[in-house]
Amino acid sequence: MSKKLKIGLIGTGGIAVGCHMPGYASIPDQCEMVAACDVNREAATKAAEKFGIARVTTDYKELLADPEIDAVSVTTPNAFHMQPTIDALNAGKHVLCEKPLAMNAEEAKKMCRAAKDSGKILQVALQMRFSSEGRFLKQFIDNGNMGDIYYARAKALRRRGVPHWGVFIDKEKQGGGPLIDIGVHILDLTLFLMGYPKPVVATGKTWDVLAKDEQNANFWGEFDRKKFTVEDFAVGMIRFDNGAVVTLESSFMANMEDDPFETQLYGTKAGAIVRKWSPGSPVRIFKEIDQQYFELSPQKLPKVDSDHTAEVQAFVKAIQNNDPSPVPGENGLILNAVFDALYKSSETGREVEVDITY
């Protein structure tokens, strides 16, 4: 039997309490949460009490100094992902870092270097690929059923969905708006299904015209319009070294129908669309057979109770089996580098090269 892992938590906010900690708690025979850290001692104490964690600290370096701790989740705001992750890797801990990996590609490169030098797992918390839809379609594609995927349309759009909690509207602490917050999920799922091709160039545009207008309602609750320093809508086009192209749209606010969270893939043998949280079949396949057009809906998707729990379980399993990272830091670097290029393209009005070397 594999060693029972000792887990530490760096950051005990909503994503830790709602996602990471329940994930570890779901496999008590395989791991045990032994320490919780947050700059807010009250928050750390409350989370620790909820999950039966013995130790609480406000200094993550104290947590990392414990030789018994095998791995940590880093669930701090984006601006505080890099240093705790690097310090943890250097201390010999495996790391599950909340998405996006970093504020920008330069930070992500340093984190990937630290993971490579340490030989420890760095996993990015991108749970969509662990979903029932993601698991099914990845296997379907890998079995050759869609041929070469040459184009995809990825959308993570909210009509009126600006988060009014945390630091989601603060560019200095978040790094960006919907592009880096929810666009990261749909772009990761899209690239995962496509085999994560290497991005070459990107062009994009961002706007902040709706969220700053106090006349526009926000279904998720009111927020301080004067402190809104991120984009409320972003669109981009990314070209890859294999000739594929992906378009990406992401918004906190847009005058549109519904709140689509989906990716549509165009392959040489078939096409597919994944619509998360939409009524009806979440996966549809489009195919031609004997000059007839077919729309197929799989009826037996893999059972996944929680995407978040599944990603944590995959992290623990990879450590125990000495397997590669289920979501390698290099994937997170690609996403950060694409976002950097899109933001720069919006500022300059020009196409920008995507640099993922480290």
Token couple for 208: 């902040």
pLDDT level of residue 3 (50, 70, 90 thresholds) = confident
CA distance 62 to 35: 10
Just give the CATH number of 5-128+308-327. 3.40.50.720
Whether 65 shows a pLDDT value over 80: the answer reads: yes
pLDDT surpasses 70 at 352: yes
Here the tokens at position 328 are 């390698």
pLDDT at 278 over 80: no
- pTM comes to 0.96
Q: Where are the domains of the chain?
A: 5-128+308-327, 132-303
Find the helix or strand (DSSP H, E) in which 275 lies: strand 271-275
Taking the C-alpha atoms of residue 43 and residue 76, their distance in angstroms, rounded to an integer, is 12
- Res. 277 pLDDT band, cuts 50 70 90: confident
Q: What is the mean pLDDT of residues 234-248?
A: 98
CATH number, domain 132-303 = 3.30.360.10
Helices 329-348 and 105-118, axial angle in degrees (round to 10) = 160
Give residue-wise pLDDT tens across range 310-339. 999 999 999 999 999 999 999 999 999 999
Strands across the sheet containing 352-353:
292-296, 283-289, 271-275, 261-267, 149-157, 245-251, 233-240, 199-207, 352-353
Helices (H), 9-160: 14-15, 21-25, 41-51, 60-64, 82-90, 105-118, 132-142
CB atoms within 10 A of CB 235: 19
Residues 146 and 273: their CA atoms lie apart, in Å, by 12
pLDDT at 281: 86
